[in-house]
Amino acid sequence: MFLMDNDIILLEGQEYFTKMAMDVSSVLDIVRKKGYFKSCGKFNIYYEFYINPCEKAAIFISHGLCEFTSKYEEVIYKFFSEGYSVFIMDYRGHGYSDRAVSDLSKVYTRSFMDYVEDAKYFIQEIVAKESLTGSIFLFAHSMGGTIGALLLEEYPRLFKCAVLSSPMFEINFGRFPWQLASVVSYMAKFFFLGKMYAYGQKPFDIAYNFKVNNTCVSEVRYKYIFQKRIADSKYRTSGVTYAWSSAGIAAVRKLHRNAKKASVPVLIFQAGLDTLVKPKGQEVFARNVPDAEIIVIKDAKHEIYNAGTSARIEYYKRILEFYNKWL
Residue 37 lies in a domain: yes
E-assigned strand segments in 142-242: 161-165, 239-240
Cα distance between residue 67 and residue 44, in whole Å: 17
Residue 43 lies in a domain: yes
How long a stretch of residues is the chain?
327
Q: Tell me the angle at which helices 143-154 and 242-257 cross, rounded to the nearest 10 degrees.
A: 40
Name the domain count of the chain: 1
Cα distance between residue 173 and residue 196, in whole Å: 17
Residue 200 lies in a domain: no
Range of the domain at 318: 8-100+111-171+259-325
DSSP 76-94: HHHHHHTT-EEEEEPPTTS
Residue 196 lies in a domain: no
What pLDDT does 221 receive? 97
CATH number (domain holding residue 75): 3.40.50.1820
Instruction: State the pTM of this model.
Output: 0.95
Residue 234 lies in a domain: no
CB burial of residue 58 (10 Å; 0-12, 13-18, 19+): buried
What pLDDT does 1 receive? 40
The Cα-based distances of 39 to 50, 87, 198, 267 in angstroms read 21, 17, 26, 29
Q: What is the DSSP letter of 246?
A: H
Spell out the per-residue pLDDT of the chain, length 327, in tens: 444 455 888 899 999 999 998 889 999 999 999 999 998 778 999 999 999 999 999 999 999 999 999 999 999 999 999 999 999 999 999 999 999 999 999 999 999 999 999 999 999 999 999 999 999 999 999 999 999 999 999 999 999 999 999 999 999 988 888 788 888 888 888 888 899 999 999 999 999 999 889 899 999 999 999 999 999 999 999 999 999 999 999 999 999 999 999 999 999 999 999 999 999 999 999 999 999 999 999 999 999 999 999 999 999 999 999 999 999
What pLDDT does 5 receive? 56
What pLDDT does 259 receive? 98
Residue 226 lies in a domain: no
Cα distance between residue 172 and residue 114, in whole Å: 23
Residue 56 lies in a domain: yes
Determine phi and psi for 271, rounding to 5 degrees: -90, 125
Q: Please choose, from the candidates 227, 181, 186, 226, the residue with its C-alpha nearest in 3D space to the C-alpha of residue 201.
A: 181
What pLDDT does 3 receive? 41
Residue 76 lies in a domain: yes
